[in-house]
Amino acid sequence: MIQTVDFFPPIVDDPYTFGQIAAANAISDIYAMGGVPKLAMNLICFPSCLDLKIMEEILQGGYSKVIEAGAIIAGGHTIEDNEPKYGLCVTGYAHPKEILANSTAREGDILVLTKSLGTGILSSAAMAEILPEKDYKVMVGMMSHLNKYAQEAMMPCRPSACTDITGFGLLGHAFEMAHGSGLTIELFSDHVPALPKALELAREGVIPGGAYNNMGYLEKDVEIAKRVPLELSDVMYDPQTSGGLLIAVPEERVEELCSRLTDKGEEAHIIGYTKAFDGKSIRVL
């Protein structure tokens, strides 16, 4: 049995969409551990000054993603709060021998990422009302997309380790994998997928505070080559909501993994590899 919990304040204006994103984000940890979600409990904080119709729409959005995941909602808990917050406590299952951790990568593994980066930057732009509608739709579509299909694609390939990319950004979660596994991860900056609008906004200085927190936390463990554009390194530190899976897979299985992801309609980006620890946990080339 795998259990996880996550909830947060709205990052979009539409209540239904907020419910979908929060639910997809909460469920993601189950997929990152190789499990299948089965049961969810709603967690909601709600101001008494808001129409209960808004709460209903949030819960309906969350319900839609739980059903898509093949799980059921078995209740939950609501409290009054000055700021709305929503998420889920999720229970999933996996065979003990198939549970994945973020600390079991092996030397020589190839790293595959299943979603492009930059949703934190786009969210900041949306809150400042400077994000074009077409880019807003891309952001919402990415954050509300379940990692269910990426999990289904990766499991037959017997990955060594896996994590989902959320608040610590790509570099933060890659550091957890490298440090936990006692290895160095080298990332190919030219292969790291970033949303074009995120790079543009980063060049203009639209960076969420969480990215700077990540930079400060990782400064001693990450080395970024001078050739890497500043806006791309900013995107790699960018905190994601409901980001993709970072999968460490043996080299002989990477082609199969990418093929299976593509067949499922998922992104499949080979962004780096693991090697023996050389004094830095992460090197961006």
19 and 127: one domain? no
280 assigned to some structural domain: yes
**Residue 197 belongs to a domain with what CATH number?**
3.90.650.10
Count Cβ neighbours within 10 Å for each residue of 26-59 and write b for 16 or more, e otherwise.
Answer: bbbbbbbbbbbbbbbebbbbbeeeeeeebbebbb
Answer yes or no: do 91 and 121 share one domain.
Answer: no
Is 225 contained in some domain?
yes
Percent of the chain with pLDDT over 70: 100
Query: Are 39 and 93 in a shared domain?
Result: yes
Say if CB 104 and CB 191 are below 8 A apart.
no
Asked if 273 and 110 count as a contact pair (C-beta separation under 8 A), the reply is yes
Give percent helix, percent strand, percent coil of the chain, each to the nearest 5. Answer: 45, 25, 30
Q: Counting Cβ atoms within 10 Å, is residue 251 exposed (0-12), middle (13-18) or buried (19+)? A: exposed
81, 127 Cβ separation under 8 angstroms: no
**3-state class (DSSP) for residue 121:** helix
> How many CB atoms are located within 10 Å of the residue 1 CB?
9
Q: Do 167 and 51 belong to one domain?
A: no
Q: What is the pLDDT of residue 229?
A: 96
Same domain flag for 87 and 128: no
- Tokens for 215, please give them: 């930079």
CA 176 to chain CA centroid, Å, is 14
Residue 104 belongs to some domain of the structure = no
Q: What angle do CA 75, 79, 84 make, to 5 degrees?
A: 100
Beta strand 282-284 pairing with 183-187: parallel
Q: Which of 31, 29, 281, 33 is CA-nearest to residue 174?
A: 281
Question: What is the pTM for the complete model shown?
Answer: 0.95
For residues 207 and 265, membership in a common domain is answered with yes
| CA atoms of 165 and 277, how far apart (whole Å) | 22
Q: Of 73, 98, 123, which one is at a domain's C-terminal end?
A: 98
Domain shared by 15 and 39, yes or no? yes
Q: What is the pLDDT of residue 220?
A: 95
pLDDT at 225: 97
pLDDT in tens, 54-81: 999 999 999 999 999 999 999 999 999 9
Bridge partners for 194 per DSSP: 117
* Average pLDDT across the chain, whole number: 97
- pLDDT > 90? residue 197: yes
Mean pLDDT of 152-162: 97
What is residue 262's predicted lDDT score, i.e. its pLDDT?
Answer: 98
The reply to whether 261 and 149 lie within a common domain is: yes
What pLDDT band is residue 277 in, cutting at 50, 70 and 90?
very high
The range of the structural domain enclosing residue 77 comes to: 2-98
Q: One-letter amino acid identity for 48?
A: S
Show Cβ contacts of residue 95 under 8 Å, excluding neighbours closer than 6 positions: none
Based on DSSP, count helices (H) and strands (E) in the chain, helices before strands.
Answer: 10, 11
The residue among 46, 64, 98 that closes a domain is 98
Give me the pLDDT at residue 27, please: 98
Query: Residue 196: pLDDT band by 50, 70, 90 thresholds?
Result: confident
37 lies in the same domain as 150:
no
On whether the CB atoms of residues 62 and 88 are closer than 8 A, the answer is: yes
Confidence of residue 101 (pLDDT cuts 50, 70, 90): very high
Q: Directed axis angle between helix 209-218 and helix 119-127, to 10°?
A: 140
Query: Is the domain of 80 the same as that of 118?
Result: no
Please identify which residue in the block is written with the tokens 């808004």. 54
pLDDT at residue 18 is higher than 90: yes
